[in-house]
Amino acid sequence: MPSTCDLCDALDPAVSDCTLQRHLNAAQSRVVAANAHAAAIPTIGAYVAGYLLLVPRGHVLSLGALDRNARAGVDALMREMAARLADRYDSPVLGFEYGLNAAGQRRIEHGHLHLLPTAANLHGWLAGRLAGYPIASLADLPADPAHSYILVRDQGGALTVYPVPTDTHPRIRLRHVVAALDPRLDGNDWDWESDPHAGLMRRTVDDLAPATSRPLP
């Protein structure tokens, strides 16, 4: 039986029918890369081709709730996939996570990192509103479950953590902010529940497949 978590289902090879798979073609794999600690999957609501989620294998509210070894594993996958995205799309790559450590506050309660090709300056936007501090690796994410944070990997690869209140209402909708900052978008297509962008999800899987298995143009 499927779990109650869409991301757990997406990473489980024993689950053939899940929310993510229903937006892909039957022959497409929903996992485009993986290591022992995390997997990269196309995101529902991919408003640009190449938009991925990096999902830890452990079910946690935020990446900071993983043990240090698992956080380092997610970091390694992030660096690998950022390089692949930059090469495939000839674009700078942004990463971000809203590490909200509050149960019952989100539709998806499984920590994940957004990674996508875009020039949107989320770091600059947040720096004008919140006080942040640099970290060297995802292994250094704040691990206190009583506190929440926003993480940004900017287009130069630098990581910044912005502490935020756990009970923030309304909280910053990072997908919305990025869509508004990306000059290719009109800022209205950020809500993944109302517009899954299935075509761009499928293109992402094809674009990131090994060269020998990519469909002919």
Beta strands 113-117 and 52-56 are antiparallel
What's the domain count of the chain?
A: 1
What residue has token string 């996958």?
77
Predicted local distance difference test score (pLDDT) of residue 217: 52
CA Rg value for the chain: 16
Q: Which residues in the chain show pLDDT less than 50?
A: 1-2, 212, 216
Range of the domain at 139: 6-213
Residue 1 lies in a domain: no
Predicted local distance difference test score (pLDDT) of residue 32: 97
Residue 49 lies in a domain: yes
CATH number, domain containing residue 194: 3.30.428.10
pTM flag (> 0.95) = no
Q: What is the pLDDT of residues 72-131, one digit of tens each?
A: 999 999 999 999 999 999 999 999 999 999 876 777 889 999 999 999 999 999 999 999
103: closest CA among 73, 66, 74, 62?
62
Residue 188 lies in a domain: yes
- How many CB atoms sit inside 10 A of residue 188's CB? 12
Residue 201 lies in a domain: yes
Question: Mean pLDDT in the chain?
Answer: 92
Residue 131 lies in a domain: yes
Residue 112 lies in a domain: yes
Q: How far apart are CA 80 and CA 63, in angstroms?
A: 17
Predicted local distance difference test score (pLDDT) of residue 102: 83
